[in-house]
């Protein structure tokens, strides 16, 4: 299973106890050029927690969950080390007990950090005040507790998205982002300020070096199993006036790309540098990205050429598109989008994982069209069928669920039924 197999050997060798029951081994059913059919809706609803799978899980299938800053913040704010540790132990035990084997924890959501960093200030989501340190290291605790349970753990960072212009007033000049913000020249070179929020500009080598240094810091100081980024690249549909002067300098030096393609090359350069920073710090750690499910949106609006990354070595170890759509979605049905990604990922060094929107259970999907808007209200087996279908794709190595609190916190009645169905396939 490409690089994920190496990580499992490492985790199993160091874990004090393993609370995970792996899915049955054996080869995944051959899918040929067509995706397998999902489990029958009526049958699965009748089967409930006894739901069977028509496609076997790979022996080393990735069964991951996103744990966002929204999940973690209440565990840190106003809490001491023992309180945080107890909460994380329970959170990770819940993950392991329900058949998950990997946690993806968000540790830098807005150019800030949930760990002591030389490059980014302490997050107000951690301590309550931007730049104010906790008396303990949440990331160190999370790595230790995850590995005790045999869980792999990845540090999830947002490389380009930073704090607001109000928050940066609380940031010390010791941090690069604040020093850049203080200088009109550096702001123009390194930052975008859009609707009161600061973003880092990947056209700047200084910016890309900072992002890579931040990755190196995490991987070299913590025994994480990977670095993860999601779908925040350029601010969506950013007007070309924001970086017109830098683009003019590029063309004056002989550059021939359009401004849109130039931006995509900047994003690719950032991603490649992050990948190599991870590998230089720990060759066994993985680097992955979770873009939007509809790739054209990422390409057109966020200026990120994910197709390039999944078809050429040196960018990623895995891609986890957010295929957050039901089977009845009018324009982006799950089966259709999964097939697109199956066809797109051609580099043998890149694994395909599938991001699933468990949080939609029991809600109206207003962007799914008339036929699909009530699908998540009328069915409680969608995620189970999506897991089953993903397992029928030879190139797919697992799934990631979004997100912890919405699944295991205070879910609605529909989620409880949905959860019973898909957890039955994970254990």
Give residue-wise pLDDT tens across range 110-127: 999 999 999 999 999 999
Residue 49 clears pLDDT 50, i.e. is over it: no
The pLDDT of residue 11 is above 80: no
| Res. 1 pLDDT band, cuts 50 70 90 | low
In the prediction, which pLDDT does 38 show?
A: 44
Q: Region 239-245: what's the mean pLDDT? A: 98
Query: Does position 52 have pLDDT exceeding 50, yes or no?
Result: no
Q: Please state the rounded mean pLDDT for residues 296-324.
A: 98
Confidence of residue 411 (pLDDT cuts 50, 70, 90): confident
Res. 309: pLDDT tops 90 = yes
- In this structure, the strands spanning 152-157 and 197-200 are unpaired
pLDDT given for residue 410 in this prediction: 74
Please give the pLDDT value at position 53: 59
Tell which wins on pLDDT, 90 or 20.
90
Q: What is the mean pLDDT of residues 138-150?
A: 98
Q: Give the residue numbers spanning the domain of 321.
A: 3-426
pLDDT one-digit tens code per residue, 243-290: 999 999 999 999 999 999 999 999 999 999 999 999 999 999 999 999
pLDDT given at position 392: 96
Mean pLDDT throughout 36-65? 64
Residue 36 has pLDDT above 80, yes or no: no
Q: Give the model's pLDDT for residue 286.
A: 98
For the chain, what percent of residues have pLDDT higher than 70?
88
CATH number at residue 13: 3.20.20.80
What's the rounded Cα separation, in Å, for the pair 62 and 100?
8
- Total domains, the chain: 1
- The whole-number pLDDT of residue 238 equals 98
The tens digit of pLDDT for each residue in 340-395 reads 999 999 999 999 999 999 999 999 999 999 999 999 999 999 999 999 999 999 99
pLDDT digits (tens, 9 = 90+) for 172-213: 999 999 999 999 999 999 999 999 999 999 999 999 999 999
pTM of the predicted structure, to 2 decimals: 0.89
Q: What is the pLDDT of residue 19?
A: 37
Among residues of the chain, what percentage have pLDDT more than 90? 86
Q: State residue 148's pLDDT score.
A: 98
Region 73-101: what's the mean pLDDT? 98
């Amino acid at each position: 299973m490409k690089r994920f197999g190496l990580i499992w050997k490492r985790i199993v060798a160091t874990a004090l106890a393993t609370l995970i029951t792996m899915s049955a081994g054996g080869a995944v059913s051959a899918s040929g050029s067509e995706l397998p059919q999902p489990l029958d809706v009526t049958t699965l609803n009748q089967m409930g927690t006894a739901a069977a799978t028509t496609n076997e899980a790979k022996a080393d299938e990735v069964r991951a969950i996103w744990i966002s800053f929204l999940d973690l913040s209440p565990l840190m704010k106003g809490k001491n080390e023992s309180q945080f540790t107890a909460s994380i132990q329970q959170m990770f035990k819940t993950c392991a007990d329900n058949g998950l084997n990997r946690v993806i924890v968000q540790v830098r959501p807005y150019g800030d950090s949930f760990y002591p960093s030389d490059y980014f200030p302490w997050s107000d989501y951690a301590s309550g005040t931007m730049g104010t340190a906790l008396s303990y290291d949440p990331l160190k605790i999370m790595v230790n507790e995850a590995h005790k349970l045999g869980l792999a753990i990845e540090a999830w960072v947002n490389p380009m998205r930073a704090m607001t212009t109000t928050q940066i007033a609380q940031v010390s000049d010791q941090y690069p982002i604040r020093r850049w913000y203080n200088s009109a020249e550096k702001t123009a070179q390194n930052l975008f300020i859009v609707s009161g929020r600061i973003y880092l500009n990947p056209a700047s080598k200084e910016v890309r070096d900072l992002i890579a240094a931040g990755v190196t810091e995490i991987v070299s100081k913590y025994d994480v199993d990977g670095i993860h980024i999601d779908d925040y690249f350029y601010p969506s549909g950013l007007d070309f006036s924001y970086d017109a002067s830098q683009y003019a300098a590029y063309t004056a030096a002989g550059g021939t790309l359009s401004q849109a393609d130039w931006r995509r090359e900047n994003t690719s350069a950032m991603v490649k540098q992050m990948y190599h920073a991870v590998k230089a710090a720990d060759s066994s750690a993985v680097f992955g990205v979770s873009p939007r499910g509809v790739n054209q949106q990422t390409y057109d609006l966020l200026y990120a050429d994910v197709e390039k990354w999944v078809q050429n070595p040196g960018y990623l170890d895995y891609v986890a598109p957010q295929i957050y759509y039901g089977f009845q979605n009018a324009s982006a049905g799950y089966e259709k989008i999964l097939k697109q990604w199956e066809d797109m990922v051609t580099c043998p060094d890149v694994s395909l994982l599938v991001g699933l929107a468990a949080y939609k259970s029991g809600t109206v999907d207003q962007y799914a069209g008339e036929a699909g808007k009530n699908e998540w209200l009328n069915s409680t087996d969608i995620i189970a069928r999506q897991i089953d279908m993903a397992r029928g794709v030879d190139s797919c190595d697992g799934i990631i669920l979004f997100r912890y609190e919405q699944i295991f916190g205070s879910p609605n009645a529909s989620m409880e039924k949905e959860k019973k169905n898909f957890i039955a396939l994970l254990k």
